[in-house]
Amino acid sequence: MSDLLEKDQFISLNIQKENWYYKYKIFKVKKEIKKYLDSENLLSVNCLDIGSGNGIISFGIGNKINNTTLNWTLVDSNYKKKDLNIDYRKSKKIDPNQTYEIIIGCDVLEHVEDETKFLGSIYDCMNEDSILILTLPAMEILWSDHDIFLKHFRRYNFQTIRNAAKKYFNILNFEYTYKLLFPVAFCLRKIKKILISTSSDNVKAYKKETTNTFLLLDKIFFILLQIEEFLSNKFKKLNLIPGVSLIISLKKK
């Protein structure tokens, strides 16, 4: 949800990264990166944030993890000329001559019609030991007009992302995330579906749907996610319980 379509929902990246939704997503992606760095023991790595939107995830992770420097490149086909001028790290296309040790794609694959071709282009810019970390909206049952507004082609589950990735990648880790919030999201979207018929005007209205909540609710949601994280670490099978989103780490075959 760092989509450029929602870039005006927050005053600044510093405020956005403290929002409960982004704070937890940044934490989960950073956790996967730490696993990779612990196993590789690298002092400096080239990192690609593909479909980076406003860059909130790589911004939240930062340029340093322990003793490792993260050299970020941000790629999004929707960047404007002013975006490219403001930040030298930004580009509209992946450089075919560059390879990366760490690639993240946060809420991007669902925007791509030909997901296999897209994953193949990512495969081509990876080294043998590189890691690809994806976050994706989960569970087709949660499909709503908000997905339409954001120009999503699909939502994912374990089987569908495995099928999409199997030509190029092996799975290192898979988890559903925001599991404790799944019942809330399911009920809210069902109610909206009953009350609001799908039309162009109603789809536009979903622009107002946001994770930007008031302070108390923000804290409550993040506490719930901390509880989820504790339980998921203690009982690994809980990671396969459906959630609002999912995270998957992949390595080249």
Per-residue pLDDT reduced to its tens digit, 128-169: 999 999 999 999 999 988 888 889 999 999 999 999 999 999
Closest CA to 118 of 94, 138, 139: 94
How many independent structural domains does the chain possess? Answer: 1
The pLDDT confidence band at residue 215, using thresholds 50, 70 and 90, is confident
Return the pLDDT at 196. 63
Query: Rounded mean pLDDT of 66-80?
Result: 94
The pLDDT confidence band at residue 212, using thresholds 50, 70 and 90, is low
Q: Which of these ranges, 43-47, 142-146, 176-180, 229-233, has the smallest mean pLDDT?
A: 142-146
Rounded-to-integer distance, Cα 171 and Cα 253, Å: 10
Full residue range of the structural domain in which residue 57 is found: 4-252
State if pTM tops 0.85: yes
Q: Which residue has the tokens 């992949």?
A: 250
In this structure, are strands 44-50 and 100-106 parallel, antiparallel, or unpaired?
parallel
CATH of the domain at 218: 3.40.50.150
Query: Rounded mean pLDDT of 113-129?
Result: 95
Count of other CB atoms within 10 angstroms of residue 133? 24
Locate all alpha helices (DSSP H) within 62-181, ordered by sequence.
81-86, 115-123, 145-149, 158-165
Return the pLDDT at 1. 38
Cβ 98 vs Cβ 214: under 8 Å = no
The pLDDT confidence band at residue 4, using thresholds 50, 70 and 90, is low
